[in-house]
Structure formats: C-alpha cells, structure tokens
Amino acid sequence: MSSSKYMNDFFLTNKHLKSLPEHLLQYIVDQDYDKYTSINHSVWRYVMKQNINYLPKVIFGDYFQGLNEAGITIDKIPNLYGMNRILQKVGWAAVCVDGFIPPKAFMEFQAHKVLVIAAEIRQISHIEYTPAPDILHEAAGHAPIIPNKKYSDYLELFGKIGANAFSSSTDLELFEAIRNLSILKEAPGVSKKLIIKSEKEVDIIQKRAGQENLSEMSMIRNLHWWTVEYGLIGTISNPKIYGAGLLSSIGESVWCMSNKVQKKDYSIEACKVNFDITKPQPQLFVTPSFDYLIDVLYDFSESMAFKRGGRHGVEQAIKSANIATCEYDNGVQISGKFTKLINSNGLDIYLQTEGPTALSKDYLEIENHGVFFHKEGFGAPLGKVKNFEFTNLNLDKCRDQGLLKSKKIKLEYNSGLLLNGIIKEFVLDKNKHVILISFIDCQIQFKDKVLFDKNWGQYDLVIGEKIVSCFPGSADKKSFSEKKYDYKSQTIKVNYSQLEKKMHEFYSEVAKIRDSSSGYNKLKIIFEKLKSNDSQEWLLLIEICEIIKNYDKVLFEEIKNYLNNLSVIRNDLKKLISDGLKVL
C-alpha cells in the first residue's frame, strides 16, 4: 500500500482527524505497525501486566474500563487504526509522531481532541521508565483516562489555552535539547560521553531559563506536567494517580505513592515549579477534582496575553520575535512580526510590525490586505481621537462628521499623535461598520518623529483604540505559508546485530506458541539454547514461564530457578524478575 493511500485510509477511520489544520499534518508519521518486533510486544505485555496487577489499587477511576473504551489490549501494542475507531466514540482521535514535537503543535493537537502518540516503544533496558515519549506512555497512560468526561474537557481546554501561549527563544532551545537527550538515552549503543554532554546542555539551558522571567509557554508547560503528566487526585493522605507519566511507568507509579515523594496541594503556583524530565519527580501535586483543575486553568489564562491584550500583550508579541497577532477592540487583527511599541507618559501610542503583515477580521484575511500588499510592515495608532467619534463608526456617521472620500482631513489623538491625509476608501465588516480607512498623501507624526511618510504609499488606519488580545501565529492560518519544522536531532533507528536478530526469532517463536496454544515442546529447546549460552534474556524466560506454568511444572520450576539465580548475578534485574514472576 502506498504511503499516501495508507494515510488517507487512516484519516477516514476517525472524523476528528479530518478537522486538523494543514500545518499540523507535517508532524504525523506512519505507525508502521509491522516494524514492531516480538521483543517490543513483550515489553508492552510486561508493563501492561504489571499495570493491571498494580494500578487498579491506586488509579483514579476504572483502569480496565478505560483500556476497553480506548481500544487497548494487554497482549499487543495497539494499532492506531483500531484505537481511532474506538476513540471516536468518546470524541477523540490519535496520531503517531516522531518523539517530542514542538510545545505549540502539541497543544494544538490537544485542542482538536487528538492524542499525539510517539510511534516508538522503549527498550527492554528502560522498561521501568524512559525519558523519551513512547507508545506505552501515550496509549497506556493518557488514553485510559480520556473516557472520563471532566478529564476530557480539561485536556481539550488545556490545548485551546496552551495553543495561545507565547514562547521564548529559550523555550525552543530547551525543547530541542530535551528532544536530543531523550533520543540519545533511548537509542542503543550511544556512548556515555555523548549522553553526559547532552545532559550538561539541558542543565545549562534549564538554569538559564530559571533565571529568566518564565514565558507563558514555560508556565503552561509546568501546569501540564504537574497535572496531565504527573498529576495525583484526591487528598494528600489518600491520593490516586491520573497522570500519564505515572500510569505508564511501573517504577514511578509505585515510587510516587511512597513517603519519599512529597505531596502538595495543587494550585496556580505550580506554574512556577520547573521540572526535570530525565529524573523521577521529587514532589507531586494533588488536586481535589478535575473541576478544580479547570478552575485553576481558567485563572491562569486570565494572566495570558490572549486575554489581557494591552501593553503586556504587545510586549509578549515583540519578545516572541515570531509571527504573532494583535487584535483591536473593533475586531481587526494584525498578524506579523511585531518590533516596536511607542509609549509616552504612560500611554501606548503606536505599534509597528516589520516585514510581511496581514490584516484580518474574525480570523479571515481582509480582501486586499494580505502579506503581498503589506509586505514592508504595518503601523497602527492606539488611543482615542480628539476631533472625531470613531465608536461604532458606519458610513452615515462618517458623512455626518465630514469623513468623505477624496477629502483631506486631520486626526489628532489624545496622545498628541497627528495624522494628515486624503481619504481614499472605507473598508466595512459584515455589519456595515467601518473597520479601516485608507488614505493617500498621508503623514503620521508624533512630536518630531515621522511614523509614516506620505511617500510610502497608501496608509490604512485601523478604526480602533486599544489592543484586547495578543496571541502567537497568524489570525488567518492561510495568510503566511507554514514552514516545515526542521528538528535539530533525528530519531536514531536501531540496527540490530546478528545476535539480536536471533533473539528476535526466539521471541517470535514463543509468541506463536502462545497464540496457537501448540508446540509447547519447542519451549524447552529454546530454554536449553539460552541456558547453554548463559543468556541473561530474562523477559523471554518470563514469557515462557507464563505459557508452561500449567502445562509443564518441571520446566516451569527449572526456568524459575534459573531466573532466581540470574537475579542474584544481576541485581539490576532482581525487581523486574521478581515482579514478572509474581503476576504469574
């Protein structure tokens, strides 16, 4: 099947995927289900069996029901086609991505009720915890809680609010550094020296970020981490797990319930608490309910530029150094790279973009006011006009005040800004309100500074007084061609050795025997081959034990003794082997 046909069929499986904006499609990758090895499926089975054995005691809600409603089984890594057909019933969808994706894109997917699931699965050496996003984390962590209506609402709201958060250049640096570290830590055969170097880079950027004023994205990322990823619910004395990072880590799900991890009441202050993704968390936050999470999120959003607007909002847009949108009180949205906000005596006077700029209303570009027309930038006054009334301005009010086509007029703002020009035309919205007045032979001046020269061509005045909202990106997504995001580090694909390929064959053979309930005599042969090579392949032996526990008691005890001896030799495997045998 061709890749394009494959993806088209995939999108047909869930109506929610069809609503995704085009710029998000670049992050979606093919799951390539056939690439999963029998070892990968065994890692999935081991973790899921541990989860089934332990999580029902500590999870919020019904874990079994959540798995069923998300289309997840214990025995095999989930196929996203099947998951999507089932997730659609609870209003969600899922797509595969290549490891960590940029925070804003992640939030946008969530706002569209789409889970992003890393296609990879952790190595057997990281079976308890991995710093890299993987299908265990997303599918077995997030998906089982999704059917809870309140949690689902919170997740969607978080995406919508988070997608409006401004990032700093340090945020992007940190994202790339963490992505690189997670790739190196999860890839086999990477030198310890390279990992240590990457860890130092993350540490340096994190320390620098801690010394700066936290950006909106940094703070909302903290809230996401301490709730969606590592959240507890209930009371300090009796918390339950709902965070996906805890649900998918058989190490941390136990660790977090111990007294070694400090529990704190969740509040908006969690937005200032940074985290280290590469280490178990020293403290966790407990919320009394999902309703409370929603309340805190709404409270936090009130401090954000997309709700505050004003000087704070424009400064956030300038600081971002990327395409952003500032919206006037009349609904006109200016999208471009903001570079300047002139203010004097406490008043904001004039804002300025540099380079291609687009004007929109209600998130749709105003005709003839796109980036090709405003290609050199755009400037717009702020504040009230002294000598004209611009509130709810329509053509009748324009005529009554002498604002007529081809007439030369002078506008004087309370700030002292002056505009002189000849009216060329009026731009109306669908309610017949004047939202722009275009001038020719126009000059704008504040004190002795010329802000717009008559030789620069047509000037378009926004009929508004103040900025009410500022947010990253353009108002109309079609105004600017979306650039493909180029990761600085790429996922390292595993090249298996001949020995590893032979081990895959053993795992595959054992899986066939389990699925067919036949050929049990081959299991002893596989065990003898492993034993003759002094193999330390513990997970395969756990799998064999599960199959023959009621079939061949003698072989079961022999393998069990072998595993117990191995756990003495390899202390790092002691708990994994003990837990694996325990669930049998």
| Rounded (10°) angle between helices 3-12 and 80-87 | 20
Residue 1: predicted pLDDT: 36
pTM here is 0.88
Q: Provide the H-helix boundaries in 359-488.
A: 395-400
CB neighbours of 77 closer than 8 A, spacing ≥ 6?
33, 36, 40, 41, 44, 121, 135, 139
Reading the block at residue 421, the tokens are: 């020009």
SS3 252: helix
With beta carbons less than 8 A apart as the criterion, state whether 351 and 379 touch: yes
CA dist 551 to 520, 545, 578, Å? 8, 10, 21
What element of type H or E holds 516?
Answer: helix 498-516
CA dist 161 to 218, 482, 560, Å? 13, 21, 52
Task: Identify the segments of the chain with pLDDT beneath 50.
Answer: 1-6
Residue 10: predicted pLDDT: 59
With beta carbons less than 8 A apart as the criterion, state whether 352 and 339 touch: yes
- Nearest-5° Cα angle at 122, 117 to 123: 160
- Closest Cα to residue 183, out of 105, 141, 130? 130
Residue 466: predicted pLDDT: 96
Residue 567: predicted pLDDT: 92
SS3 464: coil
Averaged pLDDT of the chain = 90
Label each residue of 8-68 as H, E or C.
HHHHHCCHHHHHCCHHHHHHEECCCHHHCCHHHHHHHHHHHHHHHHHHHHHECCCHHHHHH
Residue 4: predicted pLDDT: 45
Q: What CATH code is assigned to 3-299?
A: 1.10.800.10
- Closest Cα to residue 140, out of 89, 67, 86, 79? 67
Distance CA 284, CA 230 (A): 7
Residue 23: predicted pLDDT: 87
